[in-house]
Amino acid sequence: MRHALTLASRGPARGSHASVGCVLLDDAGRTVAEGWHRGAGTPHAEVDAMSKLPAGGARGLTAVVTLEPCNHWGRTGPCAEALIEAGIGRVVFAVEDPGAHSGGGKERLRAAGIPVDEGVLAAEVAEWMRRWLIAASLQRPFVTLKWASSLDGRAAAADGTSQWITGTAARQHVHEQRADHDAILVGTGTVLADDPTLTARGDGGELLPLQPLPVVVGERPVPIDARLRQHPRGLVETGTRDLRAVLSDLFARDVRTVFVEGGPTVAGELIRNDLVDDYLVYLAPTLIGGPRLALGDLGVDTIDGQRHLSVTSVTPLGDDLAILARTQSGSSR
């Protein structure tokens, strides 16, 4: 299973399809073939592995897969059916497919008389697939909320200036995170105040190969001369402040991960509505004071209402720190 997970890591890091790995074993436990999913429209991991065998070569083999074989028709056929037709003798997988339409593969396999073992290295695989699993189960993109602040929690000086609180290493790390998400989301207030490009760029200012889809939340239109209108992925203007509706629409557009760089209003609204899965905070060793807090009102009126997080990593970036935290339940509602 660990080797299947290694194979899965070769698949695309972004997009609507899970990165899955599969290893086919004979009765002696020897690897006969292996495969992984390369992206939308390509063979799934199980089919990719079986395609490397001669006709009838999969009969009686054990398929070890990181994710429960799918049970639906999409751009490709159901893997459960493909395994049955190939005569696979046994299936072992790590985590269930939470998809309303794609799940149920294990029941289909068992109904066909194929033994199925589940839960092998489930925690390890689920952690690696965490973004995709949360998106699939909640039917909305996985949301990473980012902000940069001083030690005293300020995101800007009293006059609104904020460039730059953090150093170059932290800012480059932000660009890498942008490239690692399907979409980047801000409010119209941020667009009007900062005129950002929201592109993912390298050390030399060059555009990185993977760019996030820019999404602007709010009812006001983006100015016609805004730099954001030159973004290589185009621009999504939501025309609404309803963040649940926005995320639902993005999910329908095959967006599975969203990087939020909006101001305190958007950030606070996401938190209040339990729509944040990861918090990425860049903390600079500086003090600013004043009213410009990184977060707006969270609806916490008493200390018993504070929102507890679990810190998963602290990474030094020059003089700054990148703190990654998540909701203690591991997912949002």
H or E segment and range at residue 250: helix 243-252
Q: Are 316 and 167 in contact (CB under 8 A)?
A: no
**Inter-residue contact 266 to 129 (CB < 8 Å):** no
Phi, psi of 208, rounded to the nearest 5 degrees: -75, 155
104 has a pLDDT exceeding 90? no
Nearest of 225, 229, 298 to residue 264 by alpha carbon: 298
16 pLDDT higher than 80: no
pLDDT at position 75 is: 59
Please, is 254 exposed, middle or buried when counting C-beta atoms within 10 Å of its C-beta (0-12, 13-18, 19+)?
middle
Domain 2-128 sits in CATH at 3.40.140.10
In the chain, the percentage of residues whose pLDDT exceeds 90 is 72
Quickly list DSSP for 284-314. Answer: ES----SS-BSS---S--SGGG---EEEEEE
Kindly state the DSSP code that residue 57 receives in the 8-state scheme.
T
- Tokens coding 293: 């807090």
Closest CA to 185 of 226, 224, 146: 146
Round to whole Å and give the CA distance between 34 and 51.
9
Share of the chain above pLDDT 70, in %: 96
pLDDT at 331: 42
Domain range summary for the chain, segments of one domain joined by +: 2-128, 141-327
Mean pLDDT of all residues in 128-134: 93
Rounded mean pLDDT, 208-237: 94
| pLDDT tens per residue, range 30-89 | 999 999 998 777 889 999 999 999 999 999 999 999 999 988 656 566 889 999 999 999
Total Cβ atoms within 10 A of residue 303: 6
pLDDT tens sequence across 258-294: 999 978 889 999 999 999 999 999 999 999 888 888 8
Q: Which residues are catalytic?
A: 46
Look up the pTM and report it.
Answer: 0.89
CATH architecture of 141-327: 3-Layer(aba) Sandwich (3.40)
- Are the CB atoms for 21 and 8 separated by under 8 Å? yes
Instruction: Count the helices and strands in the chain (H runs, E runs).
Output: 10, 13
Question: What is the C-alpha to C-alpha distance for residues 273 and 256, in angstroms, rounded to an integer?
Answer: 18
Question: 234: exposed, middle or buried (C-beta count within 10 Å: 0-12, 13-18, 19+)?
Answer: exposed
